[in-house]
Chains A and B, each alone.
Chain A
Amino acid sequence: MDYSIKIGGEAGQGIVTIGDTLAKVFSRKGYHVFTHQDYESRVRGGHNFFQIRLSDIPVMASRDKIDILVAFDKAGIQLHEKELTGSGIVIYDSSALKETHDKPNFLDIPFANLALERGGDKIMANTVAIGAVLGMLGVDMDILFEIIGDTFKKKGEDVIKGNKDSATAGKEYAMTHCARCSFSPAPQSGPKMLINGSEAIALGAIASGCKFYSAYPMTPSTGIMNYIAGKEKEYGIIVEQAEDEIAAINMALGASFAGVRAMTGSAGGGFALMVEGLSLAAMTETPVVIALGQRPAPATGLPTRTEQGDLSFALYTSHGEFPRIVFAPGTPEQAFYLTNKAFDLAEKYQIPAIVIFDQYLADTQWTYEGLDLERIRYTDYRLRGEALQKLPEYKRYVFTESGVSPLAVPGDSKHLVVADSDEHDEDGHLIEDAETRVKMMDKRLFKKLPLIVSEIEPPVLYGSSSPETVIVGWGSNYGLMKEAVDILSKEKSIAMLHFSEVYPFPHPPLNPLPSREGRQTVPSPLAGEGQGEGGFMSTLCNAKTAICIENNATGQFARLMRAETGYEFKNRINRYDGRPFLLEELVGKIKGIIG
């Protein structure tokens, strides 16, 4: 089974609430769920939709065909009727839309009237719609009733009963009137976790011991701030809404200097303002994690839509040369673990770490059996309390073999902690001499870099172990690419290489690292399991066709690959209209290249 449901309507009509509720019902019922949202930059009106896919096997992308369309506005029908499968059905309320469709695949359900008659209030029309969808699918109401109970606990018994009755009315109406409904979802057992990308990044931060989050609201990063703010008290976290993104990153750096793990987040436009702070983090060797949510730009662009257009920006922006980490999770699960890894490495090496995502990943919900807390890294690398007090002397930027100097907490001991944005000596005081400058650059850059690179995991290889075709991508295209491989594997020798730890670039054996003496080959631990002796580069080079798939116009990852390895993609699939790929579309485009 593999069903897709689309709920379309104007902003403010409750589309997201309906979608979230249905997704929760399905995931608690044990189905694998994938949802994605498409919305305009407005609070009321326009046309938005929420798409849910449910299956008895893992799903990780939206399909371009839908089985049930719930239309709350005329645009919903005009835009999406053509997406219906042969047995697909539209449900709508003709009295609300003020139009009637006499086609066999349209089911007119009086959402508002049923809500008024059975629930006692027209406001419950959306609950009628939820009940109707569950009725069409033949899914029990027990979970929905639980959710209604939880949601309206504070509003009292009458509201709970009204909503339950409305849901039942919708279900009964659909079951009686939907002659064509032949959905038969296989029963599942055991609830699944339902989580989106924003929540996963926020949760990863909390699980890493993040104590301070400062940001200025900006789509698609605001979800992270909202989630962490909801956990402030429980976990002892301060969330400060800054006056601008410049303040946001500087506050985070202040908090980190003071001895707590700190994070900030924004979209590309806000990150642009943070750039001088990124450089400050590097020079002062102050750990910080930055969540960078991409949306179509330049400038304000398409504020609520998706793009992978800021990769080069994240990799190269800032004045000066210094090491940084850029992780691009492909799924909420990767977002959780990689945010944690970003915190760990940022503090271990005292560098900025960027978690780059996009609106698509932020808003897509995935189901999992669970997340493994055993995999969470937590080491407090800071020097504090007694350990610090016992030291005979302390210099913030003391030269060490690894380039990493102990990071002390100011105020915890007699030792002074001096950080400086000017070039400085071991004590942290500003200098002008050339010799110290070079030693400090070597410490920050060349000594740390090989150690950081040794922490970077190679890309995930999925599919054939000696593929004729390799599709390569990064970030949020993971699910789409993986499902495309599943579909195409039936007739082709194909595999996916997905990069989530994009920078420093995973070190293939043939790729020398920059060093003081020029580019030097450093023994690599990263041959990569199951990727043969030559690692992912040999998989790529041995393939007949390699295709780089990105949600941007110019192929920024392909350029990174060429810069880091010399490999040049002959085939690219790029989408840059602000929308994510859909599964069938992507499969079609791959077939167009490989035949």
Chain B
Amino acid sequence: MPTIEDYKGQTPAWCPGCGDFGILTAFKQAVVEMGMEPHQFTIVSGIGQAGKFPHYLKCNTFNGLHGRTLPVATGIRLSNHVMPVIAVAGDGDCYGEGGNHFIHAVRRNINIKLFVHDNQIYGLTKGQASPTSMEGMVTKTQPFGVFSEQLNPVALAIALDCSFVARSFAGDTKHLKGMIKEAMTHKGFSLVDIFQPCVTFNKINTFEWYKKRVYQIEPEYNPEDRVEAFKRALEWGDRIPIGVIYRNHRPILEERVPVIAEKPLVRQGFDKSKLEKTLKEFY
């Protein structure tokens, strides 16, 4: 059985007190409890503080470009669909630069697990507004406050009929670990949007701010009711729900691609013997 020690990676270069530490802890606990070994899965990350995540663990890693986690993850997963593929991104990474990829990855319903470190600010570039920054937030680059409507990733995902939509909070690692495990075991594209306080640049959405507002969705809630889910997704302000907000059982892409019905693409080898016949089709 794997242990937390097996997952010890590089020393994090995050700011002391960063919400990312909570995510790292919860993630390690989740995979250890699930009995997953570091070599058995791949994490794809982008750029931003979240992009460094896999380096602070031990696992197969593709740390690609800003916004491009999901296309890379899609390519990996289609080529080897027996290997779990996890995408880790920040809010700017996933909902800004990679917004188009997010929409289409959800549509494909490829069985990728997407964990978004959502701190509602740009950390790596030192404090500009992100797509999830609240309207009115003043930053160095938005001196008059953010004019744009705050992007609601949970509502967007439900609108796209995303197979699994959850929200959690880095300040509650027990809850977060649970959400990670549920996402990992769900069959279908899974989004966990994680409130992750940025202690350096986001002076509004602090640990305290989240702690005061988040509440765990009651056990009797039915996440398979899309209309109810949409209502929950729109809750913002004094009370913000965390937990599994929406879930469905759409067929996954990997099961619909006939080419990989029997075995993963990467194990199929290359059979040259058909080429003669193919060449004949040109005569």
**Which A residues fall within an 8 A CB radius of B?**
27-28, 191-195, 199, 203, 206-207, 209, 211-212, 214, 231-238, 240, 242-244, 246-248, 250-260, 262, 276-277, 280, 284, 370-371, 373, 376, 378, 380, 384, 409-411, 413-422, 428-430
Q: Specify which of A194, A251, A258 lies most central, judged by the most chain B CB atoms within 10 Å of its CB.
A: A258
Pairs of residues from A and B, 3 with the lowest C-beta to C-beta distance, nearest first: A254-B75, A250-B71, A209-B270
CA distance A174 to B71 in the complex (A): 57
Q: Which residue of A lies closest to B56 (CB)?
A: A429
Q: What residues on A are CB-neighbors of B44 within 8 Å?
A: 254
CA distance A251 to B73 in the complex (A): 7
CA distance A413 to B74 in the complex (A): 21
Q: DSSP majority for the A interface?
A: mixed
- CB B2 to nearest CB in A, in angstroms, measures 12
B282 at the binding interface (Cβ < 8 Å) = yes
Q: What residues on A are CB-neighbors of B276 within 8 Å?
A: 373
Q: What residues on B are CB-neighbors of A199 within 8 Å?
A: 282
Q: What residues on B are CB-neighbors of A191 within 8 Å?
A: 283
Q: A253-B72, A255-B78, A411-B83 are in contact. Are A238 and B260 (CB under 8 A)?
A: yes
B64 at the binding interface (Cβ < 8 Å) = yes
Whether the pair A252, B75 counts as a contact (CB closer than 8 A) is yes
Whether the pair B68, A246 counts as a contact (CB closer than 8 A) is yes
B166 at the binding interface (Cβ < 8 Å) = no
Whether the pair B65, A277 counts as a contact (CB closer than 8 A) is yes
How many residues does chain B have at the interface if contact means C-beta atoms less than 8 Å apart?
Answer: 56
- Which of the 9-residue segments B97-105, B140-148, B212-220 touches chain A? B97-105
A255 interface neighbour in B61, B76, B259, B278, Cβ under 8 Å: B76
B231 at the binding interface (Cβ < 8 Å) = no
Q: What residues on A are CB-neighbors of B274 within 8 Å?
A: 234-235
B248 at the binding interface (Cβ < 8 Å) = no
Q: What residues on B are CB-neighbors of A414 within 8 Å?
A: 37, 39
Q: Which residue of A lies closest to B38 (CB)?
A: A416
Q: A258-B76, A410-B42 are in contact. Are A207 and B103 (CB under 8 A)?
A: no
Whether the pair B80, A244 counts as a contact (CB closer than 8 A) is no
CA distance A420 to B64 in the complex (A): 6
CA distance A428 to B78 in the complex (A): 23
Q: What residues on B are CB-neighbors of A376 within 8 Å?
A: 272, 275
A237 interface neighbour in B68, B104, B259, B272, Cβ under 8 Å: B259
Whether the pair B282, A193 counts as a contact (CB closer than 8 A) is yes
Whether the pair B10, A429 counts as a contact (CB closer than 8 A) is yes
Whether the pair B52, A258 counts as a contact (CB closer than 8 A) is no
Whether the pair B60, A416 counts as a contact (CB closer than 8 A) is yes
CA distance A467 to B268 in the complex (A): 52
Q: What residues on B are CB-neighbors of A235 within 8 Å?
A: 271, 274
Whether the pair B265, A417 counts as a contact (CB closer than 8 A) is no
B206 at the binding interface (Cβ < 8 Å) = no
Query: Mind listing 25 A-B residue pairs with CB under 8 Å?
Result: A191-B283, A209-B272, A211-B265, A211-B268, A232-B258, A236-B259, A250-B65, A251-B71, A251-B75, A254-B44, A254-B74, A256-B75, A258-B83, A262-B79, A276-B65, A284-B64, A376-B272, A410-B39, A411-B42, A416-B58, A418-B63, A419-B61, A421-B63, A421-B64, A429-B55
CA distance A409 to B79 in the complex (A): 11
B1 at the binding interface (Cβ < 8 Å) = no
